[in-house]
Amino acid sequence: MYRYALTVAALFAMVPTGPSFAVSEKDKMATCKFGADDQKLEGAARSAFMQKCMANRNDPRGPATGAPAAPAAPPKQQ
* Tens digits of residue pLDDT in 34-51: 999 999 999 999 999 999
Domain that holds residue 34: 19-57
For residue 23, is it within any domain? yes
Query: Which pLDDT belongs to residue 7?
Result: 78
User: Which residues have C-beta within 8 Å of that of residue 58, sequence separation ≥ 6?
Assistant: 19, 21
For residue 76, is it within any domain? no
Angle at 57 between CA 56 and CA 59, to 5 degrees: 140
For residue 62, is it within any domain? no
Q: How many domains does the chain have?
A: 1
Query: Which pLDDT belongs to residue 1?
Result: 74
pLDDT, greater one: 3 or 53:
53
For residue 78, is it within any domain? no
| Cα 52 to Cα 31: distance, rounded to the nearest angstrom | 12
Half-sphere exposure of 37 (CA within 13 A, CB side): 6
User: Which residues have C-beta within 8 Å of that of residue 35, sequence separation ≥ 6?
Assistant: 49, 53
